[in-house]
Amino acid sequence: MKRLLLVDDEQNVLHALVRTLRSCYRDQVAFETFTNPYEALKRCSLTEFDVVISDYRMLELTGVEFLAALQQVAPDTVRIMLTASTEFGTVSSAINEAGVFRFLSKPWDETSLRAALDASFEQRAKLVREREERSLLGVKR
């Protein structure tokens, strides 16, 4: 089963995401949600997730800060940024600092959300394969 972590400081956004994702993936994906990015990072240090979706604007950390920290803790976890912003600086910093794989706009539509997640799960499988190949060859990242 695939594992997905959702991080947004607004509980109603998390509920809406889970509702949408449950209708898309039924029992194929396990979800965990956090309103506190620090707690989410702690969880990621204990459990491996395939994909993380994080809001950009949160009180404790920005999404870029959170996903950059996540990149250090779980480099093979695919990172998606959820944002209402379309500013180039936001997009650029998310890519450069946090290695964001995809962006989702608020409000999202089910088709775009599903497409981004499907691509992210494929990317995760690729990253895991590459890690396993490196391990077999004795090559460090």
Phi-psi region of 125 (alpha: psi -120 to 50; beta: other; left: phi over 0): alpha
Q: How far is CA 30 from CA 83, 130, 135, in A?
A: 23, 24, 27
Q: At the top level of CATH, which class does the domain 2-137 belong to? A: alpha beta
Query: How far, rounded to the nearest angstrom, does the alpha carbon of residue 110 sit from its chain's CA centroid?
Result: 16
Please state the domain extents for the chain. Answer: 2-137
Task: Give the confidence band of 32 by pLDDT, cuts at 50, 70, 90.
Answer: very high
pLDDT of residue 16: 96
Q: What is the pLDDT of residue 18?
A: 95
Q: Please report where in the chains the tokens 């060859």 appear, as a residue.
A: 137
pLDDT at 41: 97
This prediction has a pTM of 0.90
Is the confidence at residue 88, as pLDDT, over 60?
no
CA 41/CA 115 separation, integer angstroms: 25
How much is the mean pLDDT over the chain?
A: 90
In this prediction, residue 103 carries a pLDDT of 87
pLDDT at site 134:
84
Per-residue pLDDT tens digits for 43-73 = 999 999 999 999 998 998 999 999 999 999 9
What's the pLDDT band for 93 if we cut at 50, 70, 90?
low
- 3-state SS record for 42-88: HHHHHCCCCEEEEECCCCCCCHHHHHHHHHHHCCCCEEEEEECCCCH
Q: Is the pLDDT of residue 35 over 90?
A: yes
- N-terminal to C-terminal alpha carbon distance within the chain: 26
Say whether pLDDT at 114 is over 60: yes
Q: What is the pLDDT of residue 91?
A: 66
Helices (H) and strands (E) in the chain, counts: 5, 5
